[in-house]
């Protein structure tokens, strides 16, 4: 399941983050890459300081509070959240993210755009699988959520600058197909409640989703 969530960050929060990052120091992004990905990683990442830590905390709060993200990802922990930057010529070649980061399994990855898509050329995030490549240019404030099982790459930025928050999710539910079923049920029961209130049909849907959570949850 791949989700593109628009406006995960509201305009005010996005502006505040962009303003903080205007004077942020950045280092070579290869420092955080695994041994196999290091040779193909050509970007920069925000230095680990108080400003970066405050932005990461804010982003995590917004992620946990967003109904669609919370329902789709069922986050238990965020093993790592980074802020990266790509200038002209920078890219990240095809790679697989580590299955374990800081002792936590990585189930989902996300990219949260911080730069308006029209402000740079290139820089698409490309997911690779047997059906072919799929490319996204994630706009400022929007988020792409996808299983960490994909080979992926970031195309070279040709002009401008691309900045984003990237991170990984340790989900309460390991399997992608199970998370998708739970999201479908959550969407259906919310639709039923909004249209008709707490009906018998709502109760059936709620019972099914909660009992599946009991079967599949890893606490």
Segment 72-83 mean pLDDT: 98
> Across the strands, what pairs with 125?
136, 154
Q: Rounded to a whole number, what is the distance in angstroms from the first to the last CA of the chain?
A: 22
List pLDDT tens digits, range 188-218: 999 999 999 999 999 999 999 999 999 999 9
Q: 3-171 has which CATH code?
A: 2.60.120.620
pTM (2 d.p.): 0.94
Is 97 annotated to bind ligand?
yes
Structural domain boundaries in the chain: 3-171, 176-216
**Nearest by Cα to 141 from 46, 62, 52, 32:** 62
**Nearest by Cα to 173 from 86, 25, 72:** 72
Is 95 annotated to bind ligand?
yes
Positive or negative: CA dihedral 175, 176, 178, 182: positive
List pLDDT tens digits, range 23-54: 999 999 988 887 888 899 999 999 999 999 99
Segment 53-70 mean pLDDT: 97
């Amino acid at each position: 399941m791949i989700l593109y969530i628009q406006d995960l960050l509201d305009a005010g929060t996005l502006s505040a983050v962009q303003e903080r990052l205007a004077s942020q120091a950045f280092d070579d992004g290869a420092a955080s890459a695994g041994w196999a990905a290091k040779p193909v990683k050509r970007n920069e990442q925000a230095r680990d300081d108080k400003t970066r830590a405050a932005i990461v905390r804010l982003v995590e709060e917004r992620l946990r509070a967003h109904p669609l993200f919370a329902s789709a990802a069922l986050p238990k922990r965020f093993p790592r959240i980074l802020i990266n930057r790509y200038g002209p010529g920078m890219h990240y070649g095809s790679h697989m993210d580590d299955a374990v980061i800081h002792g936590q399994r990585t189930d989902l990855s996300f990219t949260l755009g911080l730069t308006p898509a029209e402000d740079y050329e290139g820089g698409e995030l490309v997911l690779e699988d047997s059906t072919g490549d799929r490319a996204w240019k994630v706009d400022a404030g929007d988020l792409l959520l996808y299983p960490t099982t994909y080979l992926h790459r970031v195309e070279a930025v040709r002009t401008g600058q691309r900045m984003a928050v990237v991170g990984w999710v340790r989900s309460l539910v390991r399997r992608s197909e199970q998370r998708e079923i739970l999201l479908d049920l959550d969407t259906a029961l919310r639709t039923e409640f909004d249209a008709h209130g707490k009906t018998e049909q709502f109760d059936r849907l709620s019972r099914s989703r909660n009992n599946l959570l009991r079967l599949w949850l890893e606490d």
